[in-house]
Amino acid sequence: MSTVRVLVGTRKGAFVLTSDGKREQWDICGPHFGGWEMYHIKGSPADPNRVYASQSTGWFGQLIQRSNDGGKTWEPMGNKFVYDGIPGTHQWYDGTPHPWEFKRVWHLEPSLTDPDTLYAGVEDAALFRSTDGAQTWQELPGLRGHGSGPHWQPGAGGLCLHTIILDPDDPGRIYIAISAAGAFRTDDAGQTWQPINRGLRSGTMPDPAAEVGHCVHHVAMHPSRPGVLFMQKHWDVMRSDDAGDSWREISGNLPVDFGFALDVHAHEPDTVYVVPIKSDSEHYPPEGKLRVYRSRTGGDEWEALTRGLPQRDCYVNVLRDAMAVDSLDECGVYFGTTGGQVYASPDAGDNWAPIVRDLPAVLSVEVQTLP
Amino acid sequence: MIRVVLPAHLRILARVGGEVQLDVAGEVTQRAVLDALEARFPALQGTIRDHVTQQRRPFVRFFACEEDLSHEPPDAPLPAAVASGTEPFLVVGAIAGGR
């Protein structure tokens, strides 16, 4: 029977949750790296026992850990992230130029085909690549060198590159997203980039249709249809059917169109999940009801999924990398909250139950489906 | 022999249980001690001082002989008691902040 491994990064350590295909009984292993912020943990699609983790604290900076046994044991790898050439400046909150300074790794994206190759999205925003299993890192400088870099401004969480999507059909195509610069695409494996923000609207900006400056929270893609992208923006849930060249809003009947997390069903490319969150400053579910919303029509029409989720007095958040799906026949959906709960649905969102309730605040959730 | 005491997180990272003892060639300075420490435990590179600038990380402190040496120049000689191994060189995570 298949096994599901859920990799959970929290504010104070990493946890590995495993279950058989029924997804009813769970083994909880951790904390690994207790006391450290684990922004992201992700396994290699090419070798599921190869798992990479981003570990950091304000005291001792950034570390990268690697496991070759599915997260049982770990080895520290290279943590030297040096911007290519003279780093230059981006805009600071007050609009003045501010030097690029490495702070942390938000997201690790292993190659689809090579367990030794992976990408790291960092703050201040840049994309790094390792081809030696995370021992050494090199920046792909074309992104910051695109020309708009000096105009990028940080979001409230920092100037972070938080989303990396590899196109399974085209090794040269990569999508990334930066808060609060927007989404970008390369078609030549990272040498050159173009902003893909046409159609995004950020109403309070002087130029609401600006090429960059949009606070993109997360982007997801179904591997069978890599030209179709779904986006949760600071406001609005968006969809692109042309690899990001244009976007249209699909918020439809959502109770609010703000949120962070978003993902796509493993087998149904038009089934999309979001977790609406009240904002601009509250950052908890509307009405204290934790609801996942599912669209089976690729957007516009959404249904609330509530069975097993708290429907009163719930004031947690679900962060941008804290939702994932497994690829079992009946797709499992998972998300973690800032209240330390990790919820799982073994039936595509119809029913939910907590795997664990009292972890530190969850920063990220990734899922591996193992044979 | 120079004695170095690391904070708990860095002891785990370096996989050492207690004090670290280092041979330091030449004059015993912060830089010489940290160079020797990082050479022996490469996993500590970047955790005490920045990879590029070699500046002490903001929330790391260096204490020895009941003195705060954090703001001393990296090439200044450390106290004789540290150089002789009588007293340890303490790398401390700042006792402040956190969340």
Tell me what the mean pLDDT of segment B21-33 comes to.
96
How high is the pLDDT of residue A210? 87
Q: Which ipTM value was assigned to this complex?
A: 0.94
Give the residue numbers in A contacting B (CB under 8 Å), as ranges.
11, 35-36, 57-63, 76, 79-80, 82
Query: Cβ separation of A79 and B98 shorter than 8 Å?
Result: no
Query: Cβ separation of B9 and A57 shorter than 8 Å?
Result: yes
What average pLDDT does chain A have?
A: 96
Q: Is the pLDDT of residue B49 over 90?
A: yes
User: How far apart are the C-alpha atoms of A30 and B21, rounded to whole Å?
Assistant: 31
How high is the pLDDT of residue A104? 97
Q: Is the pLDDT of residue B94 over 90?
A: no
Give the B window 2-41 contacts with A, CB below 8 Å: 7, 9-10, 13
Q: What are phi and psi of A66, to 5 degrees?
A: -130, 135
Query: Cβ separation of B94 and A11 shorter than 8 Å?
Result: no
CATH of the domain at A63: 2.130.10.10
Model confidence, pTM: 0.97
Please count the structural domains in chain A: 1
Q: Is the pLDDT of residue A287 over 80?
A: yes
How high is the pLDDT of residue A49? 97
SS3 A137: coil
How high is the pLDDT of residue B36? 98
Among chain A residues, the shortest Cα distance to B96 is held by: A59
Count Cβ neighbours within 10 Å for each residue of A161-176 and write b for 16 or more, e otherwise. Answer: bbbbbbbeeeeebbbb
B11, B12, B47: which to substitute to probe chain A, counting the most A Cβ within 10 Å? B47
Looking at chain B, how many residues does it have?
Answer: 99
Q: Is the pLDDT of residue A339 over 70?
A: yes
Q: Which CATH number applies to B2-93: 3.10.20.30, 3.50.50.60, 3.40.47.10, 3.40.50.10490?
A: 3.10.20.30
Q: Which residues pair with A175 in a beta bridge?
A: A165, A185
What average pLDDT does chain B have?
A: 95
- Residues from chain A that touch B7, judged by Cβ atoms under 8 A, are 59
How high is the pLDDT of residue A146? 83
Query: Cβ separation of A59 and B59 shorter than 8 Å?
Result: yes
| pLDDT per position as a tens digit, A193-206 | 999 999 999 877 88
Q: Is the pLDDT of residue A180 over 80?
A: yes
Q: Is the pLDDT of residue B97 over 70?
A: no
Query: Cβ separation of B45 and A80 shorter than 8 Å?
Result: yes
Is residue B43 very low, low, confident or very high in pLDDT (cuts 50, 70, 90)? very high
- Residues from chain B that touch A76, judged by Cβ atoms under 8 A, are 13, 43
Query: Distance (Å) from the C-alpha of residue B43 to the closest C-alpha of chain A?
Result: 6
Where in the sequence is the domain holding A228, given as residue range(s)?
3-370
B94 lies within 8 A of chain A by CB: yes
B70 lies within 8 A of chain A by CB: no
For B14, the enclosing helix (H) or strand (E) is: helix B8-14
How high is the pLDDT of residue A72? 95
A57, A59, A84: which to substitute to probe chain B, counting the most B Cβ within 10 Å? A59
Query: Cβ separation of B9 and A35 shorter than 8 Å?
Result: yes
Q: Which residues pair with A160 in a beta bridge?
A: A123, A179
Looking at the partner chain, which of B46, B50, B93 has a beta carbon nearest the beta carbon of A59?
A: B93
- Cβ burial of A18 (10 Å; 0-12, 13-18, 19+) is middle
- Residues from chain B that touch A35, judged by Cβ atoms under 8 A, are 9
| pLDDT per position as a tens digit, A25-56 | 999 999 999 999 999 999 999 999 999 999 99
Q: Is the pLDDT of residue B48 over 80?
A: yes
